[in-house]
Each structure stands twice: as structure tokens, then as C-alpha cells.
Amino acid sequence: MVLARVVGTVVSSRKEPRIEGIKFLLLEKIDPETLKGKKDYLVAMDSVGAGPGEVVFYVTGSSSRMTTVTEGKPSDATITAIVDNIDLKGKAVYRKEAE
Amino acid sequence: MVLARVVGTVVSSRKEPRIEGIKFLLLEKIDPETLKGKKDYLVAMDSVGAGPGEVVFYVTGSSSRMTTVTEGKPSDATITAIVDNIDLKGKAVYRKEAE
Amino acid sequence: MVLARVVGTVVSSRKEPRIEGIKFLLLEKIDPETLKGKKDYLVAMDSVGAGPGEVVFYVTGSSSRMTTVTEGKPSDATITAIVDNIDLKGKAVYRKEAE
Amino acid sequence: MVLARVVGTVVSSRKEPRIEGIKFLLLEKIDPETLKGKKDYLVAMDSVGAGPGEVVFYVTGSSSRMTTVTEGKPSDATITAIVDNIDLKGKAVYRKEAE
Amino acid sequence: MVLARVVGTVVSSRKEPRIEGIKFLLLEKIDPETLKGKKDYLVAMDSVGAGPGEVVFYVTGSSSRMTTVTEGKPSDATITAIVDNIDLKGKAVYRKEAE
């Protein structure tokens, strides 16, 4: 799974019928050492109700269809968790409550 | 899913029978901050009737077979949405109607 | 799918039984703007009878098993089309007949 | 499979129900020549009880669901082994007992 | 499939039960133009009995489970052939017998 921040949204009116009603979030991958964005973006489906600015991790590949929201849908990236804490090499690099 | 622009077409007369009658579009990945092309190209199948110049997103992997057009076909990249709006860090970076 | 040129062959006498009798082609990915090779090589199975020097596209992942030749075989890259024409941003960048 | 070191943990209270109770480890990919971290991080599930500082390898893609712990769960990276020894070009580059 | 050289081994005593008894080889990807290693390493399962120094190709993704040795096992990279000959742009760049 990959750490990222929710940085935007993507809206489409003409799309594959199976993804009607799905919300598409724009994610920016982050470096866990600094929590800074890596200027590397992707569009993800969301199984957990993530909001703007939140740190999440998403799953790729066939596993991105294995959530309540994305079952049977053509996804290759789905947010499966909103992150509360990241600890790296003994340091608390991220606390959601402290943001 | 990945943001890209439709920049061309690829035509083949000798191909795997299962992909006969499929249209192949040439996509260039775009940077959502600037909407500029990244000189990174791929060939995609299309489930939504995308046209030249349009901003789309496509899905990769086994999910690229999970659309009405590509079911049972050997695709690893299928366009599943024509993009209307992209919002990034509070800014409206793309509006289809304004192009 | 990815654009590439057939640049060679790979021969093996000791291999997994399921791939006996399969021909392995060496491909070099190409840049569609210039049609030049990118020095990025891979080994692919071939479902269409591609020959040396030809421009093709290949499919990756589980879809590379979904051709007449590769069904049930451990492939992660299979040529599914010999390319006749590539049009990019309004220009005819490749015509097979003109090579 | 990919060599990495366990360098931290990721905690989430709001997540896809299917991954409740799973522990998420933060991994840093390592270079087997030097055993140094490559500043390339990912979040993995763990099927073997790996602890902080340990060298492991993890599996990606659909195979990351094929362990006792991750069966049916949306994972794209699962630790499947704690590494004892690495030998590279005739040299013992890593011995767990010597750390 | 990807060309690589067998450059070492990885040993683990604590691992997912489904991979007990499997041998893990350390591979270095090679450039077919020069046959030199690219300092890009991975751990692979082996379906063909490859030995140290041999040039092989391996398969990735779900296809890496489609060999006699790896059926049902969590692999994402399995050697499926020991390479005898590589011809590139009309030149014999590798002959196993000549090594």
C-alpha cells in the first residue's frame, strides 16, 4: 500500500456505467520522512470517506476491487485507510490529531 | 487511475482476433498541476468514446477488462472516464467547458 | 498497451514445460514522437507472427495470457498487434508501408 | 519479491472493514549490495510477525493475498519471509545473527 | 519477461508456510546490449533449476504462479527459462556455451 494525501477531486459526466456514483479523489504520494508531496499524482476510488488534506493509504491492482465500495468495479487504486499515526525509525513522524 | 490526454490513434490490420473492431487511442500522461503532457505515452482501449484532445483517466491491470467494451479482451489500459473538472489544492485546474 | 519494436530473439533449451514451443522475441520500447528505441528491453511472447524490425504493441499483466497462443501460459508480456499507422497530434508519425 | 527493512508502523482507526485487526508495517526497500535503505517506502501487511529493524522480503500483486493472514483482504504488498542470510556474488552480504 | 543473471541466494527460516521448501534466488537485471548488470535486484522463485551466474528470464505478476513449482504459492517473480542465446539487432550478443 502507498501513503498519499488527498489533494483534490476529479469529476466526469461521461464514464463507464459501472463507475457511476463513485467519487474520484486526486491523491499525491507523500514521503513519510517529511510528509511532503512528491508531485506524483493519481486518481483513486475511496472506500472510507476520506476528505481533503487527509493522509491515507491506498491499495493497487486487483485488490483495489476488494472493498465494499469497489467490488466488481474497474479500479486500480482504492483508498482503504485514513492514517492516524506514522512512526518511522523510532520517531512519530505523523499524528493526525496534531495537524 | 491515471490522468492523460488523447493525442492520437494506432491502427493495426494484423492483430489478435479478440481485439478485432476495437479502437486504439494513443494517450499522453498529464501533470494535473499544469495539464501539460509528460512525454509518457501508452496505447489504450476506450470504453467511453473519447475524442482527440480530451482529458480522460484510464484504468490499468485486470480492471481494464471490466468495462462493457473490453470484457474478455486482452487490455492492460482502458479509458473509463472523460474528465469534466479537476480541482487540486483548492484550485480549479481544469474545466472541460473552458477549453 | 505499449509501443515497441522487435529487435531480436531469445532462445532457451531449459525452460518451464508450459512454454515449450513458444517463440520469445526481444522488444525495445519506442518513443512514438521519434520512433526511436528507448534502450528499454523486454522479452515477449507473440500472438501475431511479428518479425524483426516491425513496430508492435504488447499487453502486460494477466491480459498477456488472453490470446490464442498464450492461454494458460506464464506470460507477462504478449504482442497482440503489428502496427500499421500511428498518428500523433495530427501528424502521421509512422506508416508501415513507408518503412 | 523485494528486499526491504521494517522501519516503522502505520496506524489507522478508519479503514475498510476487511482489514480490521491487520497490522501495517512501514518498509524501506534496501540495496542488497550495501544493505542501505533506498529512501523508497511502502506500507505492507505481515504474514510472519516481522519486527522493527528486521530484513524481510515482501510479495506484490495478487500473490500478496495468498498468505494465511491476508486471504481475501485487499493487500498489494505482504511480507512473506524474515531473511536470515543473503549471499551476493560469492560474498555473505547479510547474516541476521551478526546484526 | 525480463532478462537477469542469477547473482546470489536468500535464505529464510521464518516464512509463510506455503513457501516452505522453495529456493529463493537473488537476480540482477541485465542490459541485453552489454549483458552487464543494472544494479537492480530482486528475489525470485525458480521453476527450472537455474544456477549461479546463469542468464535467465523471469515472469512477473499472477503468471509467476503458473509453473509446476509455484502453483498456488505467493510469488511475484519466477524464473521460467535459462537462456542459451540472445540475438539483438542482427548480432549474437550472448551464447551460453561461450561463457
Nearest to D29 by CA among D3, D55, D7: D3
Q: Taking CA atoms, what residue in E is nearest to C64?
A: E63
CA count, 13 A, side-chain hemisphere, D78: 29
Q: Hey, are the CB atoms on B49 and A14 less than 8 Å from each other?
A: yes
Q: Taking CA atoms, what residue in D is nearest to A71?
A: D74
Considering only CB atoms, which chain D residues are within 8 Å of E77? Answer: 1
Q: Does A1 touch chain D (CB under 8 A)?
A: yes
**Res E99 pLDDT > 80:** no
Average pLDDT over residues A44-50: 97
Non-local CB neighbours of E44 within 8 Å, separated by 6+ positions: D1, E4, E24, E25, E27, E58, E75, E77, E78, E79
Q: Hey, are the CB atoms on C14 and E82 less than 8 Å from each other?
A: yes
- D45 neighbors D72 (Cβ within 8 angstroms): no
**Res A98 pLDDT > 90:** no
Q: Taking CA atoms, what residue in A is nearest to B2?
A: A42
Q: Does D61 touch chain E (CB under 8 A)?
A: yes
Give the CATH number of the domain where residue B51 resides.
Answer: 2.40.50.220
Domain that holds residue A78: 2-98
**Res A99 pLDDT > 80:** no
For chain E, give the percent of residues with pLDDT over 90: 97
Nearest to A63 among D14, D39, D76 (CB): D76
pTM of the model: 0.97
Q: How big is the B-C interface in CB pairs under 8 Å? A: 97
Q: Hey, are the CB atoms on B62 and C64 less than 8 Å from each other?
A: no
Q: Does E44 touch chain C (CB under 8 A)?
A: no
> Hunting for cell 523508497 — which residue is that?
D40
**Res D66 pLDDT > 90:** yes
Phi-psi region of A94 (alpha: psi -120 to 50; beta: other; left: phi over 0): beta
- Residue-wise pLDDT for C16-46, tens only, equals 999 999 999 999 999 999 999 999 999 999 9
Q: Hey, are the CB atoms on B44 and C1 less than 8 Å from each other?
A: yes
Q: Where are the beta strands (DSSP E) in chain E?
A: 2-11, 14-15, 24-30, 37-46, 55-60, 77-82, 85-88, 91-95
Mutate to test the interface with A, among B6, B40, B82, B83 (most CBs of A within 10 A): B83
Q: Would you place residue D1 in the very low, low, confident or very high pLDDT band (cuts 50, 70, 90)?
A: very high
Q: Taking CA atoms, what residue in D is nearest to E13?
A: D84
Q: Hey, are the CB atoms on D86 and E9 less than 8 Å from each other?
A: yes
Phi, psi of A64 (to 5 degrees): -70, -10
Considering only CB atoms, which chain A residues are within 8 Å of B32? Answer: 8, 26, 41
Q: Taking CA atoms, what residue in A is nearest to B94?
A: A10
Average pLDDT over residues B1-14: 98
- Structural domain total, chain E: 1
Q: Hey, are the CB atoms on A59 and D65 less than 8 Å from each other?
A: no
Nearest to B11 among C3, C31, C84 (CB): C84
Q: How big is the A-D interface in CB pairs under 8 Å? A: 97
For C21, the 3-state DSSP assignment is coil
Q: What is the pLDDT of residue C99?
A: 76
